[in-house]
Amino acid sequence: MVAAPEVVTAAFLPAEEFDRADFDRYVMGTYARFPIALERGEGCRVWDTEGKSYLDFVAGIATCTLGHSHPLVAAAVQAQMQTLQHVSNLYYTRWQGALAQWLVENSAADRAFFCNSGAEANEGAIKLARKYAHKVLNIAEPVILSAHSSFHGRTLATVTATGQPKYQKPFTPLPTGFDYIPYNDLPALQAALAKHQGKVCAVLIEPLQGEGGVRPGDREYFQGLRALCDEHRLLLMVDEVQAGMGRSGKLWGYENLGIVPDVITTAKGLGGGFPIGAMLCRESCNVFDPGDHASTFGGNPLACRVGLTVCETLVQENVLANVRDRGEQLQAGLQSLVARYPHLCAAERGWGLLRGLVLPENSPMQARDVVAAAIAEGLLLVPAGTQVVRFVPPLIVTAAEMAEALAALERAIGKLAASHS
């Protein structure tokens, strides 16, 4: 008879002192982590295991929409855990229907499919586009276009759709059926359509490229893109995983561009820190049949109740107005830094509370250096490539917290400037 294995208590449970060596021993090294261990959060602030506080302008990378430990989100989790957390999609559940209704009534879409992440939402969009190509366009080997410097996820299909070779190189051979176009370049799109001679079925594109350097879409380009998609019966699929859910100052990033997409993907801020994603589409491209696509955890009652709480709170607490006001405050503060330190800061760009500080190409420092210096000043930031520092605080950030963050950033930049003088 085989003896049962001895149960071992982890050395870094919350009641014990955190041990980074134990963490690194057991967790795969797939992330280049900064050397702090975070333990708790409230609003726009987090604390590490040593008790130091930080203003969190990362927010789980544009995810903690309502900040940390929001009482309404916490109450929704507690109430649903005491009722029904998961039953699979073999049955109807009220919260999935309610969240789908909210998203449809507050977007250009007619239908919703729920999953667990942005990558899964984009996987769903890719599958939808391919079936649309077969069923509607009669294309046997369809091609989906995406943009250079885009980011659509880490699954094999979405990393292929991602127009950044650095993410793709270790995982070849990649799936076929994808090609890439320059962002905000309409003639290049027209050339790609001619190149593929009727095989293109969809364009998957971000209204603002987040991971690719906080690059906003050009309004004229996107309107031309919409016209070309209409002309060729292509699906215009917008990846709103980072720019959506109010982060731009509007509920959806595409609203800044004056277009109506066929497919919308969302995640990150939809759950306010709880894992949930969704792929939304118009009825004209709703080609999925039962059995075509599925997700065990997608749309579970717990995730959907939290998502609906986040959505309703955005409206009830007038959060989008705060995003616009604080976005203007952040923009002005970054512009001031650019003017004061032109040799270290080249420009600022973005929408609302998704903004980037661009470093010069010949800068003596990279974005990660600025992030590390800001951490020392009690401010958490995140790079967007090597030359852009990204600012994605909770959408509830106050004017006082924004001023505090900008002061911390200025101290960090000032020290970097002194060290490189």
**Cis before residue 360, ω within 30 degrees of 0?**
no
DSSP 176: S
Distance CA 137, CA 149 (A): 28
Annotated catalytic residue: which of 239, 274, 288, 391? 239
Annotated catalytic residue: which of 113, 262, 268, 288? 268
Strands (E), 51-196: 53-56, 111-115, 143-147, 178-181
Distance CA 85, CA 228 (A): 44
Q: Side-chain half-sphere of 353: how many Cα atoms within 13 Å?
A: 36
Tokens read off for 400? 């006082």
What is the secondary structure of 204-220 as a DSSP string? EE-SEESTTTSEEPPHH
∠ CA 252-192-243, rounded to 5°: 15
- 8 Å CB contact between 95 and 308: yes
Distance CA 381, CA 369 (A): 11
Q: Which H or E run includes 380?
A: strand 379-380
Tokens read off for 238? 């917008």
- 8 Å CB contact between 269 and 251: no
**How many angstroms separate the most distant Cα atoms in the chain?**
74
Phi, psi of 284 (to 5 degrees): -65, -20
Please say if 19 is a catalytic residue. Answer: no
Please say if 391 is a catalytic residue. Answer: no
Annotated catalytic residue: which of 151, 274, 288, 391? 151
Please say if 325 is a catalytic residue. Answer: no
Distance CA 190, CA 270 (A): 34
The number of beta carbons lying within 10 Å of the beta carbon of residue 6 is 5
Pair type for strands 382-383 and 178-181: unpaired
Tokens read off for 349? 């760009």
Write the CA distances from 61 to 104, 316, 364, integer angstroms.
Answer: 25, 24, 26
The number of beta carbons lying within 10 Å of the beta carbon of residue 166 is 8
Residues annotated as part of the active site? 151, 239, 268
